[in-house]
Structure 1
Amino acid sequence: MTLSLALAVFWVIAANLAATAPTSDTAWSRADLLIAIGIPLVGYLTLQNGPWVGLLALAAGMSVLRWPMRRLVRWPRPQAGTEA
């Protein structure tokens, strides 16, 4: 097992623990931290193990962080009924 793959497994475990821990905010600070760590990790994983493993890791990360992804997809769209 390569170092990048071991780090990716640790990231998934940390993300699941972060999702189950109680919080006073809406957990966006934890999501931001996981994204900031996950993006370079996916690049490192792709570099060491190839593009298919990198794409699988990207899909796994997107499934763990699905609410930030939904927010990113909906962000540039104008809201219905707000045209002047």
Structure 2
Amino acid sequence: MTLPLILGCLWLVLANVIAMFPTRDKHIRAGMVLAVVGIPLLGWITWSNGPLWGLAFLIGGASIMRWPLIWFWRSVRRTG
């Protein structure tokens, strides 16, 4: 297993652990930090291991970060 895949798995575990604990800001700050770290990590995984692994981690990350994606989709539909 390559280093990007190991870091990607750690990111997925960390995101799930963060989601388990309640916060006052509804995980907005944690989501921003996870996105800032996760997007370059996704690019690194895709670059070093191929598009299938990149797609697998994209789907895994999207399942964890689904509310920001839903909010983004709603804002795009409102403006367009």
Please classify the TM superposition score into its range, dividing by the shorter chain length.
Answer: over 0.9
Q: What is the distance in 1 between the residues matched to 2:43 and 2:30?
A: 20
Alignment of structure 1 residues 4-83 onto 2, 5 Å: 4-78=4-78
TM-score, length-normalised on structure 1?
0.89
Between structures 1 and 2, the one with greater helix share? 2
The amino acid across from 2:58 in the alignment is: L
The amino acid across from 1:33 in the alignment is: V
Cα RMSD (Å): 1.2
TM-score, length-normalised on structure 2?
0.93
Structure showing greater Rg: 1
- CA drift of 1:31 comes to 0.6
Q: How many pairs does the alignment contain? A: 79
- Extract unaligned runs of 5+ from structure 2: none
